[in-house]
Amino acid sequence: MGAIKASIGDAVLTFMWVFSASTLGAVTSVIATYLGVQGLAWASLLITTFLVFVLVFLFSSIGDALGGASFNPTGTASFYAAGLGPDTLFSMALRFPAQAAGAVGGALAIKEVMPKQYKHMLGVLVTPFSRRGCLQWPP
């Protein structure tokens, strides 16, 4: 696959991944409410795990159909570092910014279309510095 074609595929796939993965909290909440298990922590974990499995399977299949596009820059970087795959330094220099641009686009798009009652479920609130000097979650 050509470097430009790969970077376009990466940007589109990363856009779709960030957009879809950002809805996991809201979709889990809707499914748990529908099933009547919203008070059970293990049920929400099970629902989210299943949804992540489905998303990874779908996006891996879509990436293969696009000729090797990837939504995960760590996989692309590790295969390049190990010398596996057809990527060159030039193609990596195009693919990484394309993946970053796709991720930013997906995040901006989901912020625009997410209904107001679910917007608080987008992202995780992390306080950079707690009294102990490390990350603190939840705030």
Tell me if 112 is assigned to some domain.
Answer: yes
Tell me if 85 is assigned to some domain.
Answer: yes
Distances (CA, A) of 27 to 21, 22, 39, 114, 121: 10, 9, 15, 11, 10
Q: What is the pLDDT of residue 1?
A: 60
User: Phi and psi of 11, rounded to 5°?
Assistant: -65, -45
- Which one, of 64, 69, 89, lies nearest residue 12 by Cα? 69
Tell me if 138 is assigned to some domain.
Answer: no
Q: Splitting the chain (139 residues) into consecutive groups of 10 residues, what average pLDDT does each group show?
A: 87 94 88 90 89 94 89 87 86 92 92 84 53 48
Tokens describing residue 45: 């974990």
- Which one, of 81, 90, 78, lies nearest residue 6 by Cα? 90
Q: What is the pLDDT of residue 129?
A: 47
Tell me if 130 is assigned to some domain.
Answer: no
Tell me if 96 is assigned to some domain.
Answer: yes
Q: What is the pLDDT of residue 58?
A: 95
Tokens describing residue 80: 């390049």
Tell me if 129 is assigned to some domain.
Answer: no
pTM of the model: 0.79
| Total domains in the fold of the chain | 1
Tell me if 80 is assigned to some domain.
Answer: yes
Domain, as residue range, for 55: 3-121
